[in-house]
Amino acid sequence: MHFNLLALAALAPAVLGQTYYGCYTEGETSRALTGASYADFSNMTVELCASLCSPYPIWGLEYTGECYCGDALTQGSFPAFASDCAMVCAGDAGEVCGGPNRLSLYGTSATPPTITPVPHAAVTAASFLGCYVELTGGRVLSGRSAFSATGMTNDACGSYCLNSGFLFYGTEYSAECYCGTGVGSANSTDVSECLMDCSGDATQKCGGPSRLSIYEWA
C-alpha cells in the first residue's frame, strides 16, 4: 500500500486527548527529551509512546520506532519543517513517528513547550547579502541544514538558522536551507541566478541550482 508521507506529516493527529505540537529538532548537544526512552521497531505507535511516557508531560516519536519522554525540551530543540517528520510508525503505517533526528512531539498541555535557542548575538533584522555560487565539493554554509518541499521561505530558513545559533543563512533550489558562520571565499553572482520561487511562498525567491540567496542577521 502506498502512503503520502508528506500528507501524513501534515495531518499527524492528537491522541488520547493530548496535544500534537508539531515536528521538532533534536537538541544541540543532547536529546531534546532526556527522561525515559524506549525503542520498538516492530510495534511502536503514537498511542504506545503516550502510554509509556504517561508520567511525563512531553513525549515524542522519532525514526519510526523510537519514543522519548521528558519534562522540558533541552537547548537547541525547536520547531522544524513539518515535512521533516514523514516516517510512518513501525506499528501503524497510518501514523507518523518523526524522522531522522526529528520528533513528532506531543504533550499534556495545550500550550507548546518553551524552547531555548542556541545562544547567539542579539539581532534585530536580516539583510540580503546577494546571490552566491555554491562551492564545488562542499557548502558555502556548512552548519545546520533543512529541506521542505512545501514550506520553505526565506523567513522560515532565517528562523531555523537563528534558533540553531547561526547568523548567516541561505536558501537554495526552492526548498533547501543552509546555515553558517559566513560566506568565506564564496563568489557572488548576479541576482538573476537566484530566482527560483520558494516552495512555501511563490512571492519569495529561494536561490537556484547551485545558487544561494544568502542573508545575515544583525
Q: Using the predicted structure, report yes or no on whether residue 95 has a pLDDT greater than 90.
A: yes
Tell me what the mean pLDDT of segment 7-22 comes to. Answer: 60
Tell me what the mean pLDDT of segment 50-57 comes to. Answer: 95
Q: Using the predicted structure, report yes or no on whether residue 152 has a pLDDT greater than 90.
A: yes
Per-residue DSSP letters for the chain? ----HHHHHHTPPP-TT-EEEEEEEPPSSS-S--S-EEE-TTT--HHHHHHHTTTSSEEEEETTTEEEEESSPPTT--B--GGG--PEETTEEEEE--BTTEEEEEESSSSPPP--PPP------EEEEEEEEPPTTS-SS-S-EEE-TTT--HHHHHHHHHHTT-SEEEEETTTEEEEES--TTPPEE-GGG--PEETTEEEEE--BTTEEEEEEE-
Q: Using the predicted structure, report yes or no on whether residue 5 has a pLDDT greater than 80.
A: no
At the topology level of CATH, where does 126-217 sit?
Answer: Hepatocyte Growth Factor (3.50.4)
For all residues of the chain together, what is the average pLDDT? 91
pLDDT tens per residue, range 121-135: 889 999 999 999 999
How far is residue 83's CA from residue 49's CA, in Å, rounded to a whole number?
Answer: 21
Which one, of 100, 122, 96, 105, lies nearest residue 56 by Cα? 105
